[in-house]
Chain A
Amino acid sequence: MSFLGNSKALVLVYSGMKEKSLSKPVNIMLTPQFYILKKETLPLKYHYQAKKIAASLFDGLLENTSKYDYFVYKEEEEWVFIAYDMQAINDFLLSKGISPEQIGKIFFAQQSAANFTAPLLLGEKEALLALDNTVVIIPQIALKEKGEILTFDDSFTPKKGVTSQGMHTSALSMKQTIGLTAFFTLFALMFFIEGWRYSHDSQAAQEEMQMLLEAHPSWQSQYTRESISAKYRAIDKNERKKREVVKTLAGMIFKGVKVGTFQMNEKVFKVDFICKDTKVAQRLIQLSKKSGFKSAETVTGNIVHIEEKL
């Protein structure tokens, strides 16, 4: 399947042609029997300007009962205007067994005028020929005998053509297709990567857990782990608290303060600081309260007593 190239076969359509039975879509080339041609030398620069005035150039030349479309292109110094009745072309093609969905592009014989270097026979009576760079139909009788005869093939396919509105046409151009496909593919890639990362994260955590379980086979049960954890957490908390208390009390010893007694067990601690005088004792009480020991008080003169639960 070619996405970019035009690989369809080219079929020449003329009024006397035989009925066709197509298995693949084709491009068609219309003979002058299906269009009206006009060439003009006009001071126009752009194609859209020529297209705009196309209808006015055919004023009085076309039948009012038909609806015409126009195909315009530039041929060296001249602008070529082609008027065609798409409905009539469609009806004719259907009568010859070519349905609209089988048609790719429609071309006009005039577009390939340069290829008509010799006559091309249309059935038994007529021939297609380029005269003064204009493709026309002439009776075969007017041809020279034993002259060269052209064979019609895909090499006559011009670059540009038209697509009938009545026939199928893609709603998306190639550029739009590429753009949208790239956009959707990019997002698809992002979603896949993100999904993979979630999956991978979970796998890594599972592997880590597996490794830990292998290192500690007796801790397979969540209940066992919770029980052991509660035990060690309680020990950790209590022991840290004991050490913190001892360090805080040690930090409260300054000049004029000595430890008289200190007692600590699993639940409480008591300490008596011997102070040099009442002034020092008061300062120590203030410091104790600041350190969080609210039970600090003076007993028997200059002794500061602290007793608290752990």
Chain B
Amino acid sequence: MNWKLYRNELIVALSLLIMFSALLYKNAQVSSRSQETISIKHAVTEFKELVSLQKTWADKKVSKRVEKLKKIVPSSKIKWSKKGKKLTAHYTALTPKELNKLVTNILSMAVQIQVLKINRDNSSYNVEFKCKW
């Protein structure tokens, strides 16, 4: 059989074969990789979220940052007790302005609020604050 006589058909058949091979390759990649990719991407997203959560709630610098709560009001108004990763602070005779400043600072810190008590005493406020990190 002389193949040269069928060269046109052969060229077209070859290109068709290549196209089908490419289609099979693509389908194989889609079926095997898409599920795998979705699964890995999901794991990566969760991992990143975990990193972000840990960075927020287990920040090693928080221990230093809580010291700021000691400085925002005169030391005469504070009873401060910090042990390890726990803080107990009593504030007395705070002006409304000082109270606002203290609460704003507490809320902006990545600490776990255990107790926050505010009592009005005439025109001033007494505050009890317990937290851990």
| Across-interface contacts of B50 in A (CB, < 8 A) | 219, 225, 228-229, 232
Is the Cβ of A177 less than 8 Å from the Cβ of B12? yes
| Across-interface contacts of B21 in A (CB, < 8 A) | 188
Is the Cβ of B8 less than 8 Å from the Cβ of A185? no
Is A15 interfacial (CB-CB < 8 Å)? no
CA–CA, A235 to B16, complex, Å? 60
Is A171 interfacial (CB-CB < 8 Å)? yes
Is the Cβ of B12 less than 8 Å from the Cβ of A209? no
Is A151 interfacial (CB-CB < 8 Å)? no
Is the Cβ of A185 less than 8 Å from the Cβ of B9? no
| Across-interface contacts of B29 in A (CB, < 8 A) | 194-196, 198-199
State the majority secondary structure of interface residues on B. helix
Is the Cβ of B9 less than 8 Å from the Cβ of A262? no
Give the residue of A1, A171, A216 whose beta carbon is less than 8 angstroms from that of B9: A171
Is the Cβ of A191 less than 8 Å from the Cβ of B5? no
Is B72 interfacial (CB-CB < 8 Å)? no
Segment of B30-38, B60-68, B73-81, B82-90 in the binding face: B30-38
| Across-interface contacts of A194 in B (CB, < 8 A) | 26, 29
Give the residue of B7, B28, B30 whose beta carbon is less than 8 angstroms from that of A1: B7
Is the Cβ of A250 less than 8 Å from the Cβ of B103? yes
Q: Which of A198, A260, A261, A263 has the most CB of B within 10 A?
A: A198
Is A172 interfacial (CB-CB < 8 Å)? yes
Indicate the size class of the contact surface on chain A.
35 or more
Is the Cβ of B25 less than 8 Å from the Cβ of A219? no
Is the Cβ of A229 less than 8 Å from the Cβ of B49? yes
Q: How far is the CB of A187 from chain B (nearest CB, A)?
A: 5
| Across-interface contacts of A189 in B (CB, < 8 A) | 22
Is the Cβ of A188 less than 8 Å from the Cβ of B15? yes
CA–CA, A187 to B19, complex, Å? 6
Is B105 interfacial (CB-CB < 8 Å)? no
- Give B20's nearest chain A residue, CB to CB: A188
Which 7 residue pairs spanning A and B have beta carbons closest together? A191-B22, A195-B26, A232-B53, A184-B15, A188-B22, A262-B118, A205-B40
Q: Give 22 pairs: A residue, B residue, CB < 8 Å, sorted on A.
A: A1-B7, A25-B5, A102-B2, A176-B8, A181-B15, A184-B16, A184-B18, A184-B19, A188-B18, A195-B26, A198-B26, A198-B33, A205-B41, A205-B44, A209-B47, A216-B47, A228-B54, A258-B120, A259-B120, A262-B117, A264-B116, A264-B117
